[in-house]
Amino acid sequence: MKQWLVILSALVVAGCTALERQQTTLEALRGELRDLAGDMDAVGQSTQDLAARLLALEQAIDARLDGIDAELAKPISLPVPVCTMPEMPAADDAVEACEAPGDIAPDPSTARMTVGAVETIRITPPGISVAARVDTGADSNSLTATDLVYFERDGNDWVRFDVEVDSGVHTVERRVLRHVRVLQQSDVTGTRRPVVELRVRIGELFGSFEFNLSDRTHLSHPVILGRDFLMDTMMVDVSRQFVQPLPEPDG
């Protein structure tokens, strides 16, 4: 009988010991789980903080770009040329003509030419004649362009684009001078457009002018001539069209 009591006591002691070990193991696992949950919370908070910082940085960059676009979109006032005549020119003396700013035809009689609401102009490149709408409400000039592809040439930003007009589709490559943001009634936030320089002839006037590129294939006229084209050079008679003669081809 005593032997059975001893064996039973040993079994009880062994069971208690095993139970204590299991409890200890469970407590250790619970502690590890609590530590892991804390680490995950810390990682989640760090991820949220990083996302907030990235969002703030993106908003700051967008605001800065909008400010730069607004500054670039402001019209530049060019000085009005002044012709100084000699006090007493001799009959045989040649009087030097006053030239308008930029690459404009030297004949001073063209400085105030009259144009209608629509005029035919010649644009080079690509060397095409198109009907342009004269818009005194537009700040800048606009040319229809599709399939824009940006690339780099000699360290400068260039753009390749297609000009789709009645004579066909013409591919042009020009250096990008800058970008402007153009606001419209249908697009109050505005769109960023590249600005390039092209040669334009209208009547007897010719020169280099800046155009922003935009898809105008759904509109009636592929070209808009704005105030920076008209300023100090033309008067607009909106009751007439095609006042100026057809421009001669480049030659």
Q: Is 153 in the same domain as 63?
A: no
Q: Is 66 in the same domain as 127?
A: no
Q: Is residue 107 part of a domain?
A: no
The share of the chain scoring above pLDDT 90, in percent, equals: 39
Q: Is 122 in the same domain as 218?
A: yes
Through-space distance between the first and last CA atoms of the chain, rounded to whole angstroms = 130
Above 80 in pLDDT, residue 88?
Answer: no
Domain count, the chain: 2
Q: Is 139 in the same domain as 206?
A: yes
Question: How many CB atoms lie under 10 A from the CB of residue 126?
Answer: 16
Q: Is 121 in the same domain as 192?
A: yes
| pLDDT tens profile 14-30 | 656 666 666 677 777 77
What is d(CA 197, CA 212) in angstroms, rounded to the nearest whole number?
A: 9
Last residue of a domain, one of 19, 50, 74: 74
> Averaging pLDDT over each range in 64-68, 101-105, 170-174, which range is the top one?
170-174
Q: Is 135 in the same domain as 56?
A: no
Q: Is 138 in the same domain as 189?
A: yes
Q: Is 117 in the same domain as 51?
A: no
Q: Is residue 246 part of a domain?
A: no
Q: Is residue 200 part of a domain?
A: yes
What is d(CA 228, CA 236) in angstroms, rounded to the nearest whole number?
A: 13
Report whether 92 contacts 212 (CB < 8 A): no
Q: Is 142 in the same domain as 204?
A: yes
Q: Higher pLDDT residue, 186 or 177? A: 177
Last residue of a domain, one of 74, 98, 123: 74
Q: Is residue 130 part of a domain?
A: yes
Q: Is residue 81 part of a domain?
A: no
Phi, psi of 39 (to 5 degrees): -60, -40
The H or E element containing residue 183 is strand 178-184
Predicted pLDDT at 82: 37
Q: Is 135 in the same domain as 69?
A: no
Predicted pLDDT at 90: 36
Supply 3's token pair: 């032997």
> What is the CATH classification number for the domain harbouring 232?
2.40.70.10
Q: Is 219 in the same domain as 116?
A: yes
Q: Is 117 in the same domain as 228?
A: yes
Last residue of a domain, one of 28, 59, 74: 74
Q: Is residue 198 part of a domain?
A: yes
Q: Is residue 100 part of a domain?
A: no
Above 90 in pLDDT, residue 176?
Answer: yes
Work out the mean pLDDT of the chain and round it to a whole number.
Answer: 77
Question: pLDDT class for 63, splitting at 50, 70, 90?
Answer: confident
Helix (DSSP H) and strand (DSSP E) numbers for the chain = 2, 12
> Residues 70-96: what's their mean pLDDT?
43
Domain that includes residue 143, residue range: 112-237
Give the chain's radius of gyration (CA, Å).
Answer: 38
Q: Is residue 98 part of a domain?
A: no
| pLDDT tens profile 112-149 | 789 999 999 999 999 999 999 999 988 899 999 999 99
Report whether 227 contacts 136 (CB < 8 A): yes
Predicted pLDDT at 89: 37
